[in-house]
Amino acid sequence: MSALQEISPNVRNMKQIQYVVLFKRANQIKEELRQNVIKPYKELIDVCWGDPHKGGVKPLTFVRQVLAACLYPQLVDSNKLPVDVRQRARTLLKGCEGGSVGSYTATPGIPEIVHRISEFITRRDGGTPSHPENIYISPGSQWALQNVLNILVDREASPKTGVLTPLPCYSTSVMSMVGLGAVAVPYSLCEERGWELRVEELHRALESAKGVCKPVALYVINPGNPTSQVQSRKSMQEVIRFVSEKRLFLLADEVYQDCVYGEKSEFVSYKKVLAEMGPPLSDTVELASFHSASKGLMGECGLRGGYVELVNLDPTIMKYIYTLFSTSSCAPVSGQFALDLLVNPPQPADPSYPLYQKETQCIRSTLAHNVKRVFEVLNSLPGVSCQPLQGGAYAFPRMHLPPKAIQKAKEMGMQPDLYYCMRLLEEAGVLVIPGCDYGLKEGNHHIRFCIIVQKDIMEELLSRLTSFHTQFMKDFS
């Protein structure tokens, strides 16, 4: 028997992601450019991930200074760093065993940091209490999501466990569910209404699961990924009533909460809305809310720091949560520090505040510029339509591709939007992700790209995309 036959059937059921072929070719192109192979462009623009630093956004000085002092404690006693930076480093190191970032921490995270996260949540939610014992720091929000799913998903159940997931949906989340033996039950977001989440669609999705699986949870992403929509308070209230009525666990992916830029958009956490609705809902609806240092203005993707706050879980279940998180000992300490800096940034009286304020405002103004330009340019292109961008890190335009292009893609054995992305990569040197990796309906073609990048990179991207798309449409008209 070969080793391949020993692989879990659940892992085998994980959908192959289409963009792998794009990544392989992108790496080849980078090597060709290094070897001075002549192409229509001098460098590749890679905007496939929500990675601000990859897109030229500079790390926040305060964050990097504190991390530097924590990693090299001799800086704490020098005059090379501002007073508040050195004080923060001392405070963080004091919470580490032996005063070192190289030590293990408690399973949920360094207690003082967990406490400060709890205080941040309470401030964010207008005084709604947050309890440190309900918070777990993890190596990124997706890792925490997988652990909560581990509790919810019964691998031996018949029918299988189901999780209602948005369509389109961040592909890694769906892969986590399927890999654990769950069935992802899609509910469609309404593109024509700005990717709105409609409760009647949740009812339809739940009905569609009958005879296929037993749904136990509803997964929402707000602000959206890849769709960039921001849910209204009214929509969130409808979702909460729905999960209460159907006895579903609510999984709220809220990692882009700091990136909201739509004119009439405002981020409100599911926990806050749940608390505002009062008993019995506020005492009974089970909720897991996820946040991360990877996303938003900090953009520290590589440090791997996220957290989950658990609401209204039975104490018995919380014991199992502790056991599951214990399997990885603790989250990376550098990621825990990044979270502390995210939830407790410099204050107006601190020496580091003016520069911190200047840098974060610069990122916000760059994002505002990019949002405006992306929306204008995309909607000016023939066969392209993009809904208003409200929050998050991505544009997700719909590509109305000509029949001849769709036929050519079939001949090449590719999904049409993958074929489009491959041509865009080859001819214009722009790496984006095809919509087919987000579980879209048949006949709907999209591309996704990150918009938290430097202005000059965005302008170059839009210029290349415009030229390529115009020629592509002519070729297949």
What pLDDT sits at residue 9?
63
The pair phi, psi for residue 403, each rounded to 5°, is -55, -40
Q: Which residues contact 151 (CB under 8 A, 6 or more apart)?
A: 317, 320, 321, 324
Distance CA 123, CA 342 (A): 13
What pLDDT sits at residue 172?
82
Query: pLDDT tier at 140 (50, 70, 90 boundaries)?
Result: confident
pLDDT at 12 over 80: no
Query: pLDDT tier at 16 (50, 70, 90 boundaries)?
Result: low
* This model's pTM is above 0.85: yes
Distance CA 430, CA 41 (A): 10
The answer to whether the bond into 315 is cis (omega within 30° of 0) is no
pLDDT at 352 over 80: yes
Token digits for 114? Answer: 């967990």
What's the CATH class of domain 3-56+357-475? alpha beta
Query: pLDDT tier at 120 (50, 70, 90 boundaries)?
Result: very high
Q: Which residues contact 403 (CB under 8 A, 6 or more apart)?
A: none
Distance CA 123, CA 117 (A): 10
What is the 3-state secondary structure of the chain?
CCHHHHCCHHHHCCCCCCCHHHHHHHHHHHHHHHCCCCCCCCCCEECCCCCCCCCCCCCCHHHHHHHHHHHCHHHHHCCCCCHHHHHHHHHHHHCCHHHCCCCCCCCCCCHHHHHHHHHHHHHHCCCCCCCHHHEEEECCHHHHHHHHHHHHCCCCCCCEEEEEEEECCCHHHHHHHHHCCCEEEEEECEHHHCCECCHHHHHHHHHHCCCCEEEEEEEEECCCCCCCCCCCHHHHHHHHHHHHHHCCEEEEECCCCCCECCCCCCCCCHHHHHHHHCCCHHHHCCEEEEEECCCCCCCCHHHCCEEEEEECCCHHHHHHHHHHHHCCCCCCHHHHHHHHHHHCCCCCCCCCHHHHHHHHHHHHHHHHHHHHHHHHHHHHCCCEECCCCCECCEECCEECCCHHHHHHHHHCCCCHHHHHHHHHHHHHCEECEEHHHHCCCCCCCEEEEECCCCHHHHHHHHHHHHHHHHHHHHHCC
Q: Which fold has domain 104-343?
A: Aspartate Aminotransferase; domain 2 (3.40.640)
Q: Give per-residue burial for 87-120: e unless 16+ CB within 10 Å, then b.
A: bbbebbbebbeeeebeeebebbbbeebbbbbbeb
Distance CA 59, CA 124 (A): 24
Domains 3-56+357-475 and 104-343 share a fold: no
Q: What is the pLDDT of residues 184-233, one digit of tens each?
A: 999 999 999 999 999 999 999 999 999 999 999 999 999 999 999 999 99
Distance CA 458, CA 47 (A): 9
Token digits for 454? Answer: 């430097």
Q: What is the pLDDT of residues 31-80, one digit of tens each?
A: 999 999 999 999 999 999 989 999 999 999 999 999 999 999 999 999 99
Least confident of 12-21, 98-107, 340-349, 453-462: 12-21
Exposed / middle / buried, residue 246 (Cβ in 10 Å: 0-12, 13-18, 19+): middle
Distance CA 300, CA 293 (A): 6
The answer to whether the bond into 9 is cis (omega within 30° of 0) is no
| Pairing of β 213-221 and β 249-253 | parallel
Mean pLDDT of 239-263: 96
What pLDDT sits at residue 327?
85
What pLDDT sits at residue 7?
57
What are the residue boundaries of the structural domains of the chain, listed by start? 3-56+357-475, 59-100, 104-343
Q: Are 61 and 77 in contact (CB under 8 A)?
A: no
Mean pLDDT of the chain: 93
pLDDT at 6 over 80: no
Top-confidence residue, 267 or 11: 267
End-to-end CA distance of the chain: give it in Å, rounded.
Answer: 52
Place of tokens 């460098």: 43
What pLDDT sits at residue 15?
59
Own/partner long-range contacts of 23-29 (Cβ < 8 Å, ≥24 apart) = 23/48, 23/431, 25/422, 25/425, 25/426, 26/425, 26/431, 29/425, 29/426, 29/429
Query: pLDDT tier at 175 (50, 70, 90 boundaries)?
Result: confident
Q: Crossing angle for the helix pair 61-71 and 333-343, nearest 10 degrees?
A: 140
What pLDDT sits at residue 11?
55
Range 59-100 classified under CATH 1.20.58.340: no
Distance CA 387, CA 68 (A): 41
Query: pLDDT tier at 171 (50, 70, 90 boundaries)?
Result: confident
Query: pLDDT tier at 17 (50, 70, 90 boundaries)?
Result: low
What pLDDT sits at residue 1?
47
Token digits for 278? Answer: 């009062």
What pLDDT sits at residue 439?
78
